[in-house]
Amino acid sequence: MWNVPGNFAWDAELTVYDQAGRPDFERLQQRARTRVAMRVRTAARENPARLYVFDLLATEARDMRALPLRARKEHLRESFDDTAVLVCASAIVGAGEFVWEQVLLHGFEGNGGHAPRLTL
């Protein structure tokens, strides 16, 4: 499923979607509460999850937080390839306000109100 070698700390969000393709926190909670092995497999098949990775906070023994966000995102992008379940979330340059308006307009969940400025 996801095989990313190394020791690291990410800022990421696990997401499960509804039939319309919108993030659905309730479905994520239901899936997380599933404990019986056979039901876990069924829940994974019926409600597949995707992990969006936003930031690389540490790698091996190096604390990356002092680096500008742009530099951390470059290191993050080089650390793995996107798959169906693991996605490196890109920065939105020059359209952040528009994207935020769309998040609010469409009522997307899980955004946490967090949109850091991309530092150079």
Count of Cβ atoms closer than 10 Å to residue 78 Cβ: 10
In this prediction, residue 118 carries a pLDDT of: 58
In this prediction, residue 61 carries a pLDDT of: 84
Digitized pLDDT (tens) for each residue of the chain, 120 residues in all: 457 778 899 999 999 998 888 889 999 999 999 999 999 999 889 989 999 999 999 998 899 999 999 999 999 999 899 999 999 988 777 787 888 888 888 876 554 445 555 554
- How far is Cα 34 from Cα 64, in angstroms, rounded to an integer? 35
Could you name the CATH architecture of 8-106? 2-Layer Sandwich (3.30)
In this prediction, residue 27 carries a pLDDT of: 92
Tokens of 5: 């070698």
Sorted by where each begins, the domain ranges of the chain are 8-106
- How far is Cα 118 from Cα 62, in angstroms, rounded to an integer? 21
